[in-house]
Chain A
Amino acid sequence: MAKTAKNTTSFAPVIFIFCFTLGYIATGFIYLDEESRRVPILTGYVTIFLLALETLKWFIPSMSQEPKDTSGVDAVEVPVSREVIGLGYVVFLASMIYVFGFYVAIPIYLFVAIAFLGSQTKKTAGISAVVASIIIYVVFELILETRLYQGLLFS
C-alpha cells in the first residue's frame, strides 16, 4: 500500500530556524546598509516572534492543534536510521555529480540506490542504471543538445 511517514513533533526545527534567523539578522546588521536591510531584518524579527509563539504551544496545551490527516494513505513509523540513509543517498548523488559529473554519478547512484535502498537484485539494479543513463544521454545530449556537467575532476 501507499504509505506516508508519520509526522513528528520536535523542538529541533524551531531551534534550527531560530539559529538561521539570528544568523540572518546578524549578517544584515554587519554587512548591509540601512535601506537594504530594512525589509529583511523586519521579516527576521517577525519570524522570531512567530517562533516564540510556536514554542509557547509546548507549554500551553490548549494552543496545540491536531496533526494533519493524510487521507488516503497509511501513516507509518519510519526508523530515523532509514530516513538518514534516504537523505544520505541524495547527498551522495549531489556530491558525486559535483566532483565526478553526471556520467559517473548517475549510473553508480542508480545501481546503489536500487540495489540497496530498494532491496532489488543486482541484475535489476544494473539494468535499470544502464538503461536510465542511456536514456538521459539520448534525451539531454542528443535531443536537447545540452552538454552535461563533467565534474570538478574531469572538466
Chain B
Amino acid sequence: MIDLLLNALSDIASVKTILLLVLGVMFGLVFGVIPGLGGTTALAILMPLTFGMTAIDAFAMSGGIMGAVAMGGAISAILLNTPGTAPNAATTLDGYPLAKQGRAAEAIGAAATASPLGGLFGVITLLMVLPVAKQLVLLFGPPEFFLLAVFGLVTIALSDSTNLLRGLVSAGVGLMLAFVGYDTVTGGERFTYGSDYLFDGIPLVPALVGLFGVTEMIHLSITGGTVAGDASAVRIHGVMKGIKATLKNWRIVIRGSLTGTIIGSIPGVGGTVATFIAYSTTKRADADPESFGTGRIEGVIAPESANNAKDSGALLPTIAFGIPGSAEMAVFLGILVLHGMQPGPTMLLNNEREIYVLIIALTLSAVFSAIIGIALVKWLAMITLVRGQILAPLVIAVSLVGTYAINSRPGDVVIAAILGMVGYLMLRFNYPRLPLVIALVLGETAERGFLQSMMISQGSWGIFISSVTSIIMVLLILITLGWSFIPGILKSRRAAKAKSD
C-alpha cells in the first residue's frame, strides 16, 4: 500500500497535474458557493473537458472539485445563511448566528480546518478498507452481481421517503433506457429503431450532462434571482481563532468524520443526512445542548468534518462495486468510464494506481480548498451576486459544446438537451432523477448478471440463494424494501383506524 501511495504521489507531482488540481479546486469552490449548483453540476459540466486529458490529470481535477465543493458551500452557508450545497444546510444552524455576532471569520476558519481534517479521516479509512473490499469482490459471481445491482437500485430508488413509488418508477424508466442498443448477451440490436447512433445505447456522458448540468441550469434560468445582496460586507479577521477551536475540539472532528464516512458509504443516504446526524450527535453529547443554534462553533465543526469525509465513504461502493451512492458519484463514475475504466471488481484489481491518485487528489484538494477558500472568501461570496439568468445560458452553452467534444457526434448534443428537459420535468413533477441515472449505469450489469445466472442454473431461480453472499444480498434487499414501505403502511393504518374511531 505504501508503494502504491508513493507511486501515486509521484504521478501527481507534476506542475501540470497540480495546476489542474488547483483549477478543479477553484471550480469546486465557485460551484460550491452558488446555491443550487454543487459538485454534481460541476463534475457534469467539467466531465467532457477531461476527455483530452490522461486519467491521472482527469482524476486530479475531479478530486479537486469533489474536495472543494464542501468548503465553497460552507462559505455561503455561514455568510449568507444559504447553504451552497444541500449537506451545508446543517452548517447554517450555528454558522450564520456566528456571522451575525461578527464571528464569521472564526466560523469560516473552523469550517476550513474541520473540512480537510474530515477529508483526511475519510481517506485514511478508505485506504484501510480497500484491501478488504478487494478480497470481498472476489466472492462475487453473476448471481451476486445481479443482486448487488438490484440492491443498489432499490436502495437509491427508496432513499427519498416521500417519493418511494416515484423513485422506483424512475428506476424502471432508467432500466428501460439502459436496454437500448447492442445486447451484450445475445448480440442483437434492441430499441434502436434503425438508428446507428443508438447502437451503443444511450451514451452515459451526454445523459449525465443533460440530467444534472442542463437540468439545473434550466431550473436556474426559469426561477432566476441571486443569492444575497450583502456579500461585500464580509470582513475576514480572526480565522486563526476558528482553526484553534477546531483543533481543540478534535473529538468532535473524529466523531463527525466517522459519521460522514460511514453514512457516505451507504448508497442513496447522502451527505445531508450525514451532516445533520453529525450535528445532532454533537448537540446531544454537549453539556449545554440548548445553546446550539445560537452560534456555537462546535455546530460548524461537526457538520463540516462529516461533509468532506462522506466523499471518501461514497467512493467505496462506486469503485469496488460499480454502484454510485450519490448523484455526484454517478457523474464521477461517468468520468471513470470515459477514461476506459470499468468501475467494480476489475477496477479494484487492475486500476489500483489510478485509485490511489484519486485518494491523493482528494487529500490535497481538501487542504488546497481550505487555503484558497480562506484567501478568496470575499470574492467567492461576491459570486453569489451574479444573476442566475445570465449564468445559466453560459453554462448550458459550454455544457453542450463539451458534450459534443468527446465523440464529435451531434447526436450527443441532442441527447443532452432532451434529457436536460426531461430532468427539468422530473424535478418539476417531483420524480427523483438519481434512480434513473443509477439504473442507466447498472442496467447492463443487472441484465448480464441475471441472464448468465439463468444460463448457469439452466433456468432455476434457486441460484440467487445458492451462496452465503447471495443470501445476504437477498436479505439486504428485503430489509431495504420492508424498512421503506412498512412504516408508511402502519402509519396509514393507524390514521385510518383513528379516523374510524
Residues of A within 8 A of B (CB): 1-5, 7-10, 12-13, 17, 20-21, 24, 27-28, 31-33, 35-40, 43-44, 46-47, 50-51, 53-54, 57, 62-63, 65-68, 71-73, 76, 78, 82-83, 86-87, 89-91, 93-94, 97-98, 102, 106, 109-110, 113-114, 117-120, 124, 128, 132, 136, 139-140, 144-149
5 A-B contact pairs sorted by A residue (CB < 8 Å): A90-B396, A97-B400, A120-B390, A149-B408, A149-B410
- Please determine whether A78 and B223 come into contact, CB atoms closer than 8 angstroms: yes
CB distance from B372 to the nearest CB of A (A): 22
- Also in contact, A90 and B421, with CB within 8 A (given A2-B227, A71-B89): yes
CB distance from A22 to the nearest CB of B (A): 11
CA distance A10 to B387 in the complex (A): 30
CA distance A5 to B173 in the complex (A): 24
Q: Which B residues are CB-close (under 8 A) to A28?
A: 190-191
Q: Which B residues are CB-close (under 8 A) to A124?
A: 390
- Please determine whether A71 and B86 come into contact, CB atoms closer than 8 angstroms: yes
Residues of B within 8 A of A (CB): 35-36, 49, 51-52, 82-83, 86, 89, 92, 160-166, 168-169, 172-173, 175-176, 179, 183, 185-186, 188, 190-191, 193, 214, 218-219, 221-228, 387, 389-390, 392-394, 396-398, 400-401, 404-405, 408, 410, 413-414, 417-418, 420-421, 424-431, 446-447, 450-451, 488, 492, 495-496
- Please determine whether A43 and B191 come into contact, CB atoms closer than 8 angstroms: no
Q: Which A residues are CB-close (under 8 A) to B218?
A: 86-87, 90
- Please determine whether A7 and B35 come into contact, CB atoms closer than 8 angstroms: no
> Residue of B at shortest CB range from A80?
B428
- Please determine whether A1 and B397 come into contact, CB atoms closer than 8 angstroms: no
- For the complex of A and B, the 6 pairs showing the least CB-CB separation, nearest first, are A118-B389, A47-B172, A94-B417, A113-B393, A62-B492, A86-B222
> Residue of B at shortest CB range from A63?
B492
- Please determine whether B163 and A83 come into contact, CB atoms closer than 8 angstroms: no
CA distance A136 to B395 in the complex (A): 11
Interface residues of A: mostly helix, strand, loop or mixed? helix
> Residue of B at shortest CB range from A70?
B86
- Please determine whether A51 and B169 come into contact, CB atoms closer than 8 angstroms: yes
- Please determine whether A24 and B228 come into contact, CB atoms closer than 8 angstroms: no
CB distance from A42 to the nearest CB of B (A): 9
- Also in contact, A12 and B191, with CB within 8 A (given A63-B492, A113-B393, A118-B393): no
- Also in contact, A144 and B405, with CB within 8 A (given A62-B495, A132-B397): yes
CB distance from B259 to the nearest CB of A (A): 19
A2-B227, A68-B163, A148-B401 provided; 15 other pairs, C-beta below 8 A?
A1-B227, A2-B82, A7-B429, A17-B169, A36-B188, A40-B191, A43-B179, A72-B83, A72-B89, A86-B222, A93-B397, A97-B410, A120-B387, A128-B390, A132-B398
CA distance A36 to B52 in the complex (A): 36
- Please determine whether B393 and A109 come into contact, CB atoms closer than 8 angstroms: yes
- Please determine whether A2 and B447 come into contact, CB atoms closer than 8 angstroms: no
- Please determine whether B398 and A136 come into contact, CB atoms closer than 8 angstroms: yes
Q: Which A residues are CB-close (under 8 A) to B49?
A: 139, 144
Q: Which B residues are CB-close (under 8 A) to A39?
A: 179, 446-447, 450-451
CA distance A63 to B488 in the complex (A): 8
CA distance A17 to B165 in the complex (A): 13
Q: Which B residues are CB-close (under 8 A) to A44?
A: 172, 176
- Please determine whether B225 and A114 come into contact, CB atoms closer than 8 angstroms: no
Partner of B162, one of A1, A13, A65, A140: A65
CB distance from A147 to the nearest CB of B (A): 7
Q: Which B residues are CB-close (under 8 A) to A90?
A: 214, 218, 396, 417, 420-421
- Also in contact, A12 and B492, with CB within 8 A (given A47-B176, A72-B83): no
Best-surrounded residue of B193, B401, B446, B447 (most CB of chain A within 10 A): B401
Q: Which B residues are CB-close (under 8 A) to A21?
A: 172-173, 176
CA distance A83 to B219 in the complex (A): 9
- Also in contact, A102 and B404, with CB within 8 A (given A13-B431, A67-B430, A90-B421): yes
CA distance A76 to B388 in the complex (A): 15
CB distance from A149 to the nearest CB of B (A): 5
Q: Which B residues are CB-close (under 8 A) to A7?
A: 428-430
CA distance A13 to B208 in the complex (A): 21
Partner of A98, one of B396, B398, B414: B414
Q: Which B residues are CB-close (under 8 A) to A73?
A: 35-36, 82
CB distance from B408 to the nearest CB of A (A): 7
CB distance from B477 to the nearest CB of A (A): 14
- Please determine whether A54 and B166 come into contact, CB atoms closer than 8 angstroms: yes
CA distance A118 to B387 in the complex (A): 8
Q: Which A residues are CB-close (under 8 A) to B400?
A: 93-94, 97
CB distance from A14 to the nearest CB of B (A): 8
Q: Which A residues are CB-close (under 8 A) to B413?
A: 94, 97-98, 149
CA distance A24 to B57 in the complex (A): 41
- Please determine whether A40 and B179 come into contact, CB atoms closer than 8 angstroms: yes
CA distance A31 to B179 in the complex (A): 14
CA distance A27 to B189 in the complex (A): 12
CA distance A45 to B393 in the complex (A): 39
Partner of A136, one of B183, B224, B401, B428: B401
- Please determine whether A5 and B414 come into contact, CB atoms closer than 8 angstroms: no
Q: Which B residues are CB-close (under 8 A) to A94?
A: 400, 413-414, 417-418
